Amino acid sequence: MISKRKITANRSNAKASTGPKTIFGKARAAQNARRHGLSLSILVDPVRAVEAENLAREIAGEGAAQETIQLAHRIAEAQIDIMRIRQARQDLMTRDLYNPDYKPQKFITAAKRIRGLIRRLVRTFGAFTPLPPEILDAVYYNPQGPKKLMLILSDLTPQLAAIDRYERRTRSRRKFAIRAFDIARQGRGTIGIGQK
């Protein structure tokens, strides 16, 4: 049995934990699930819906029954989702790779600290204080080549992991759709997703 005091404490804590209060905070929280749009169905996009329809008809073949076309449509939707996911991954990586002014996240935070240090040095010793080249290199760091790719991948690891989860689920969905399509073509009836 929970005490009355504990219930009162829980209720007061719940009132304090109801999410953002400001208009800016609410607008930002409303965009939490819209980082890349991969959770949206391809049928929302008219161009991709037409692509899925054309691919489904190609998979089903000429003169296919409506049930076969529906099963082929599931395969086509999953295949176009996989292509969309791979394109999102490529766009995410190339955005920074081709950006000549790319700064890695850990160096941005270090550069902010160093700029603060430089401001304190200038206030203390004057504007013409010579600074060590290592400090200036850290402020104006601009990685190139394989080091830049490594830093980009390091910065993008959480986003790439999320995209990989989407792709894994979609490949699984496509696998079960192909299995159901093959069974229907062999005349053994249909099975639902997740059945063996």
Q: Which of these, 154, 152, 32, 39, lies nearest to 85 by C-alpha position?
A: 39
| Distance, CA of 182 to CA of 173 (rounded, Å) | 14
Q: What's the mean per-residue pLDDT of the chain?
A: 79
Give 190 or 39, the one with higher predicted confidence. 39
Query: pLDDT by residue (tens digit) across 34-51?
Result: 566 777 778 778 888 899
Give 148 or 50, the one with higher predicted confidence. 50
Mean pLDDT throughout 130-154?
A: 68
| Distance, CA of 176 to CA of 174 (rounded, Å) | 6
pTM over 0.85? The answer is: no
pLDDT recorded at residue 179: 94
pLDDT recorded at residue 167: 92
Secondary structure of residue 134 in the 3-state scheme: helix
**Joined tokens for residue 109:** 């935070």
**Joined tokens for residue 65:** 């029954």
Q: Which of these, 196, 191, 193, 192, lies nearest to 172 by C-alpha position?
A: 193
Secondary structure of residue 190 in the 3-state scheme: coil
Q: 132: pLDDT confidence band, cut at 50, 70 and 90?
A: low
pLDDT higher than threshold 80 for residue 146: no
Domain boundaries in the chain? 37-100+167-196
Secondary structure of residue 137 in the 3-state scheme: helix
pLDDT higher than threshold 70 for residue 11: yes
| Distance, CA of 22 to CA of 28 (rounded, Å) | 10
Q: Which of these, 135, 128, 129, 127, lies nearest to 111 by C-alpha position?
A: 135
pLDDT higher than threshold 60 for residue 136: no
Query: pLDDT by residue (tens digit) across 72-130?
Result: 999 999 999 999 999 988 888 888 888 877 777 666 666 666 667 677 777 777 777 66
Q: Which segments of the chain does DSSP mark as H helices, in order?
A: 4-16, 23-30, 46-60, 66-97, 105-125, 133-139, 145-185
| Distance, CA of 136 to CA of 130 (rounded, Å) | 11
